[in-house]
Structure formats: C-alpha cells, structure tokens
A and B are shown apart, each in its own frame.
Chain A
Amino acid sequence: MQVVWLRSSLALRDLQAFIQHTVVYCKMDPKLKKTKNSSSNSANSPDSTHSSFPFPDEVLERVLSFLHSHKDRSSVSLVCKDWYNAERWTRTKLFIGNCYSVSPEIVARRFPRIKSVTLKGKPRFSDFNLVPQHWGADVHSWLVVFAKVYPFLEELRLKRMTLNDESLKFLATSFPGFKALSLLSCEGFSTDGLKAIATHCKNLTELDIQENGMDDLGGGWLSCFSENCSSLEVLNFASLNSEVSFDALEKLVRRCKSLRILKVNKSITLDQLQQLLVLAPQLIELGTGSFQQELTPLQYEGLGIAFSNCKNLQTLSGFWEDTSLHLPVLYAACPSLTFLNLSYATLRSGELAKIVAHSPNIRRLWVLDTVGDKGLEAVGSSCPFLEELRVFPADPFEQDLHHGVTEAGFLAVSHGCRKLHYVLYFCRQMTNAAVATIVQNCPDFTHFRLCIMNPGERDYLTNEPMDEAFGAVVKTCTNLQRLALSGLLTDLTFEYIGKYAKNLEALSVAFAGSSDGGMQCVLQGCPKLRKLEIRDCPFGNAALLSGIEKYETMRSLWMSACNVTMSACKLLAKEMPRLNVEVMRDEGSDESQADKVYIYRTVAGPRRDAPPFVVTL
C-alpha cells in the first residue's frame, strides 16, 4: 500500500473520482492486468511488469488524468516507476518556474503529450532593473523543441522571458491548434509579433499582453484578426498605448460570442466602451479604456445602462485617465464585483469611498495611495469580505511624508476586513504596535508584503527597529507563505523568521540585518523556503555557505550588494554540482567581490547561452 500526499486544494470532485477509481480497480482480478507494458518507454521501466500494482497502465493513466496540480503530479511521479510513467504520459500542462532549471530536450523526453506550457525566466528582481539587459531567458530554443515534439501545443504562458518578433512569428506558424498566449513582464518584441499571432492563429481563444517591455509600433495588429475569427474568449491589450481600429475591435467583439475577458487600452473612449458593452454584456472581466470624456446626458445614461446590463461582471480595471467624473456609471455594476483594480487611477478618499460603498462583495482591491488613510477607512467599513489589498505608491520617489498612506489606513482595513490574507502595502511610516494589532485582527495572512519606502526606516513613534513588527507577523500568521521585509531590521527579525515561519516559501529582503547570523537563521529555520531574494544586506560568505545543503531544495537564491566574495561562490559551485552559481560583477568593482549572485538548482547543467557578464562558476 503506497501513500500519496496530495494538496488539499485538489477539487473535491476530482478527489472523489480518484478514490472511486482506485478502490474499484483494487478489487479487480490481478490476472486482468496486462502482462506487457507496451505504452511506456521500455528504457524507462524494465520492471513495470513486476510492480506491486494490479492496475493495467491504462487504468492508472485514467485515474491520474484527474490530477491537475503540478505539485500533486510531482508527488505522484515519485511513488514508483509505474506511477512515474503513467504520470508522464498523462501530463498535459507543463509548469517550469525557472527556465534554466531544466532544458527543453529533457522536458521533451519526459513528457510526450504537453498541450500547455508555463515558463518563467528572469529572477524577480529584474522587474526593478537589478538584472542587466540581455541576461537571457530567451524562449526561442524552447519553441524550436516544442515545434518538433508538441505540434499540438495550445497554450503558452510566459513570465519574465525574452522573445522577439521572429519567435512570435515562429510560434504563430508552427502550431496549428494554438489557442492561448499570455505574456507578462516579457521583453524584446513588438506589436509586429502580435500581428503574426492575430493573422495565423485561427483558433485563438486568448491573447493576454500585460506590462511588457515591448515596442508599441501601432495598433494595426488588431486589424489582423481574420473575419472568421470568432473564438476569442480573452483579449487584454490594456498595456498597449497605440490607437487600434475601433471598427475592427467592434466587429471582433460582435462575433466572439464567448468573449469573457476584455481589457482595452487608453485609445478607447467612453463612448466606444459603451458600444462594446452593449455587444458583450456577458463579460466577466472588463478593463476600461480612457475613462475621461465629455459625455452628453444621453451618452451618460446609455453608459450607465450598459454597465447595469453586465450582470456577470466580476472584475473591473483600467481607469487610465485621472477622472472621477464618470465613476457613478459604474455603481450599477459594482455589487457583483469581486476584484476592483484601481491601481492606475489617482482617486482621492471620497471617490474611493463612494465606489466601495457600492461594492460590498469585493474580495480583491488594488488602489493607489492617493486614496489616503481615509479612503482605506472607507474600505474597512464597506468591504467585510475583502481578502486581498494592494496599495501602490503614486509617487514612489517623492520624499514628502504627507502623501500616501500610513499605518492608520492599514489598521483601519484590518479592523473591518478580518478575512484579509494578502497584502501589498507601500507606505512611508509604520509602527511595530500597528503591525502587531493588524495581525491580531487578521491572523490568516498568507502573503505579507510591507514596503516602508525609505530604506532602514525606524518605527516613527518609538524610534526602534521594525523587528517586533515582523516578529508579530511570523508568530501570529502560521500560514504565512510569502513575506517581504522593509524598515530598519536587525538579526532579531531573522531569528523570529527562522523560529516561527515554518510555512514560509518566499522571502524578500532589502537593506536589513546586522550579520551573517540573520541569513543563517532563515536558511536553517524555514523548511519550506523555495525563493530567497536579498539585496543590500550585510550577509557574507559564512551566511551563503551555511545554506549549502539547502539550495537544492529551493528554486533559487538571489543576493546582490551583499558581502559575498568570488571564493565562496566558487566553493559552493564546486561542492554542489547540481546548482548553477552565477555571478555578475558591477562595473569598476573589486575582482574578488561577487556583486550579484544568482544560484538555482538545475538538471540542465550550466547555461549555454550566458552573456559575457554572467559568469557560471
């Protein structure tokens, strides 16, 4: 009897099906089992006919096809060779959290039937310009292999990858059944590449372009969709600025009856938006265009009616222009909203208060700190079901303390929204006491990302370091998975983390800590740690090497502007051949200093595409 641990997120229905099938076939006559395992690669499993399982392979495969989570599948594949094989034959979705941890060839050998791929590339700190240009994570070599091995690939989701227009053209023309493309924080391509996708992917259901470092050469790509294309379900071009042909868009929306997510860009006026809403009242997610326009009373009324007819609307975003003029037209749609993304709208407290008053069912709310503490108070009183709050800074480089939000706003939300479990909060002042109260109110935090914007900022009331704040977080929030630190922090914070944060998977540290001991506490104390990113901290070689055993259990470690030297990195690389230890040196710095270190586990060996400034030890 083998035991397989599965995540509790497995859908109950799937689990029941899994169990039913397993139980039924356990009772089957073992003689019914096939004697020869013809479907799996004989090189992989010479012992398969002697396994202790009475299941024919097809049965096991059928059973395993109920598993969707890649983590569950990973667990399953470790049970025995039979299960490993059955799993690899039934896996259709591939998730690769670090594109350099494995090679396309290895993937292709193991999984023959992949239809959907998610690939993540650069380290997260590349979002903040800490990774030089041309670092890598180019998708092309993956596409070439996929074209050979997975000609029926349907979905590709890329995050922090590099790709150029040639790759997009290759993608568009190599996979006849291609359906869904999602690009988030990628770079290197332009709207010309999108033209290829729109032109060639006849069955496209999803085109989701978000926040990429891309060249917007014009909106002509939208007109490349063929008149026969009616399969679109998701279209997100909110982050592109160029004007698109409204005529083309209107026709597209009209014929794509299954469209459920539409996020348009700034070039679409309110008037045009209204026309689109009339055509697509079935929308579940809407991204508005420019929300600023002189409207006649009739147009205004029409817009209000259009919104009220969208009975399924759950998500609203966009609001690129600075206006509160037309917000009331939304009110009719607000009651059904669960996610409101106002993070590009410079709203004031009163305006936010009015919106949230109409949106009692909000689960996720993203705002700019222009709403102030007063705006957040309104959130606290109006949104009892709030689970996620993100407050972004409108003026991140502004030194003036009188802008934005403070601990008061966060406190107010925590009083009113007891189900809060995800927070990203940018502020300029915080106190230990406030954070302690906040986590008392909301002990279920799984993601706690607090950014006190001035590095090394103290508790502004007591002038103490912020150690006790994060101590309170890790002591109280036992389910904490992700933590981002800020403020003046000593090693005490890291002692707390090592001692209490037993479920912590991702930790982000900047301008914190006093000595190697801090980092050591975390490496030794957090069993589930997978991602650790550190910048500008006084952690040196001893700290780095204390984790020598740990790094293979993690996805990656990033350390920049710390006190690590090349010799320690070389030692680490020598001892741990299954890690890639990559160093990037800053211009003009000492030869012996390892300014930027990126360490990750891999089965693919050292990178073959590393640029000259990335040294693999």
Chain B
Amino acid sequence: MERAAVYDNELNLKATELRLGLPGADESEKQSSRNNKRSSAEMDDSRDKDEQESAPAPKAQVVGWPPVRSYRKNILHQKNESDLSGIFVKVSMDGAPYLRKIDLKVYINYQDLLKALENMFKCSIGVYSEREGYDGSEFAPTYEDKDGDWMLVGDVPWDMFITSCKRLRIMKGSEAKGLGCL
C-alpha cells in the first residue's frame, strides 16, 4: 500500500499506517502549539481543547489547571517554541565538493525538507514510498540517527526524525537501492 509523502496533516491515516516508528510516538503533541501569535481568548479556548484532546500519555490535562492566566500561558508557549535552538545538521551529497549545514527546525515536514534539499543541491530526489524508498530517483536522502545507523529519510514520523537526525547524506540512487525494501 503506497503511502503518499504527506506528513503535513495529522490525518487519521496515521491510525492505519505501517511504519517503523514506535507506536504512540509523539506525533500530535506539538500540533496545537503552532502559530499562536494572537493572545485572544478565542485562541486560548481552542488551544486548551487541543491540549485536552492530545493529552500526553501520563496524565490528562485539566481545563484551567494549573491556574495560569491565558496571557502568561501564551507568552511562555511562544518562548518555548522560539527558545528551542535550531537543530543544525550537516548535509553531504555524493560527488559534491563541500558540505552544507541546515536547521531542521525551519522545516515543517518531509516535503518541505526534501524540496529545500533539491534546491540546495540542484538534484532530484523524488517521492518517498514506503515500499520502494526513493527508487527510481537519481538521489536518495539518508540520515545518521542517534544510534549511528544510516536510515532512509521518510520512514519515521517527522517529529521523531528531527530529534534523532544527526547528519544527512544524499546518496546516489543506485547506491541506495535495496535500502528502502523491507
């Protein structure tokens, strides 16, 4: 079953998808916390509802507890979002004379990242498929994870990817063959 390289919406496809990631991994955690520039009360209500629905595993969050004013919650939230320093990783491409460095925090999903890489290195990476990897593409993006293993970009949920990715390598498609097959 082909899964489109669409990770940008938290659709219910997640419920039926096959992936290598751990079940129940933090996918929807940060969804509700994006783009809260307005500190209006309406936004607060909807945010709180989101927080309630996508409550972290250990404890369901209670409305209005701890008693922190909406305004303060918003500010601290914005701070948390922006204070997380960028996740800079080196990117190498087979055949390129020097490496580049990118900030993974800047991208919102795989599509975004791959497009940026394609632009940066003037290459074509193509579309991810769970079964075939990037088969058929000229290049395939891979990454070294926390354990030191080289993985194919796209297998795990985006949020898990950016926290585990140590460096990126854009491999020639021919070399990457066989990596994507289970």
Q: Do A and B come from one complex?
A: yes
Interface residue? B108 (CB, 8 A): no
Number of interface residues of A (CB under 8 A): 37
Interface residue? A19 (CB, 8 A): no
Q: Is the CB of B41 within 8 A of A130?
A: no
**Stretch of A208-216, A279-287, A605-613 lying at the B interface:** A208-216
Instruction: Tell me the interface secondary structure of chain A in the complex.
Output: loop
Q: Which residue of A212, A343, A397, A453 has the most chain B CB atoms within 10 A of its CB atom?
A: A397
Q: Enumerate chain B residues within 8 angstroms of A215, measured Cβ to Cβ.
A: 38, 40
Say which residue of A216, A397, A455 sits within 8 Å of B38 (CB atoms).
A216
Q: Is the CB of B63 within 8 A of A395?
A: no
Interface residue? B137 (CB, 8 A): no
Q: Is the CB of A129 within 8 A of B67?
A: no
Given A395-B76, A399-B58, A455-B62: A133 and B68 interface contact (C-beta under 8 Å): no
**Complex: how many Å from CA A343 to CA B79?**
12
Q: Is the CB of A128 within 8 A of B79?
A: no
Number of interface residues of B (CB under 8 A): 31
User: Would you list which residues of chain A between 395 and 429 have a CB under 8 Å from chain B?
Assistant: 395-397, 399, 426
Q: Enumerate chain A residues within 8 angstroms of B56, measured Cβ to Cβ.
A: 397, 399
Interface residue? B34 (CB, 8 A): no
**Complex: how many Å from CA A514 to CA B171?**
65
Q: Is the CB of B42 within 8 A of A133?
A: yes
Given A322-B79, A344-B75: A396 and B40 interface contact (C-beta under 8 Å): no
Interface residue? B163 (CB, 8 A): no
B176: shortest Cβ distance to chain A, in Å?
39
User: Would you list which residues of chain B between 30 and 74 have a CB under 8 Å from chain A?
Assistant: 37-42, 44-45, 48, 51, 56, 58-59, 61-73
Q: Enumerate chain B residues within 8 angstroms of A536, measured Cβ to Cβ.
A: 62
Given A322-B83, A346-B83, A394-B76: A128 and B40 interface contact (C-beta under 8 Å): no
Q: Enumerate chain A residues within 8 angstroms of B42, measured Cβ to Cβ.
A: 133, 213
Interface residue? A392 (CB, 8 A): yes
User: Would you list which residues of chain A between 222 and 276 have a CB under 8 Å from chain B?
Assistant: 239, 241
Q: Enumerate chain A residues within 8 angstroms of B67, measured Cβ to Cβ.
A: 127-128, 451, 510
**Complex: how many Å from CA A129 to CA B37?**
18
Query: Which residue of chain A has its CB nearest to the CB of B67?
Result: A128
**Complex: how many Å from CA A396 to CA B69?**
11
Interface residue? A432 (CB, 8 A): no
Q: Please, what's the 1-or-0 string for B75-90, where 1 marks a CB less than 8 Å from any CB in chain A?
A: 1100110010000000
Q: Is the CB of A239 within 8 A of B71?
A: yes
Q: Enumerate chain B residues within 8 angstroms of A394, measured Cβ to Cβ.
A: 76
Q: Enumerate chain B residues within 8 angstroms of A211, measured Cβ to Cβ.
A: 69, 71-72
How many A-B pairs have beta carbons closer than 8 Å: the answer is 86
Say which residue of A125, A133, A426 sits within 8 Å of B41 (CB atoms).
A133
Query: Which residue of chain A has its CB nearest to the CB of B80?
Result: A395
Q: Enumerate chain B residues within 8 angstroms of A455, measured Cβ to Cβ.
A: 62, 65
User: Would you list which residues of chain A between 445 and 475 have a CB under 8 Å from chain B?
Assistant: 451, 453-455
Query: Which residue of chain B has its CB nearest to the CB of A484?
Result: B67
Q: Is the CB of B72 within 8 A of A392?
A: yes
Q: Enumerate chain B residues within 8 angstroms of A322, measured Cβ to Cβ.
A: 79, 83
B49: shortest Cβ distance to chain A, in Å?
9
Given A187-B40, A346-B83: A213 and B70 interface contact (C-beta under 8 Å): yes
Q: Enumerate chain B residues within 8 angstroms of A127, measured Cβ to Cβ.
A: 67, 69-70
Q: Enumerate chain B residues within 8 angstroms of A239, measured Cβ to Cβ.
A: 39, 71
Say which residue of B44, B51, B70, B75 sits within 8 Å of A397 (CB atoms).
B51
Interface residue? A185 (CB, 8 A): yes
Query: Which residue of chain B has its CB nearest to the CB of A126?
Result: B41
A535: shortest Cβ distance to chain B, in Å?
8
Q: Please, what's the 1-or-0 string for A73-87, where 1 marks a CB less than 8 Å from any CB in chain B?
A: 000000000000000
Q: Is the CB of A129 within 8 A of B48?
A: yes
User: Would you list which residues of chain A between 162 and 198 have a CB under 8 Å from chain B?
Assistant: 185, 187
**Complex: how many Å from CA A346 to CA B45?**
25
Say which residue of B65, B75, B80 sits within 8 Å of A128 (CB atoms).
B65
Apart from A128-B70, A344-B79, A395-B80: 9 A-B pairs, beta carbons within 8 A: A127-B69, A128-B67, A129-B44, A213-B42, A213-B71, A214-B39, A214-B40, A320-B75, A397-B56
What are 17 A-B pairs at a CB distance below 8 A? A125-B64, A127-B67, A127-B70, A129-B45, A187-B41, A213-B39, A213-B44, A239-B71, A322-B79, A344-B75, A344-B76, A346-B79, A392-B72, A396-B73, A399-B56, A455-B65, A510-B67
Those 4 A-B pairs whose CB atoms lie nearest each other, nearest first = A128-B64, A213-B41, A211-B71, A453-B66
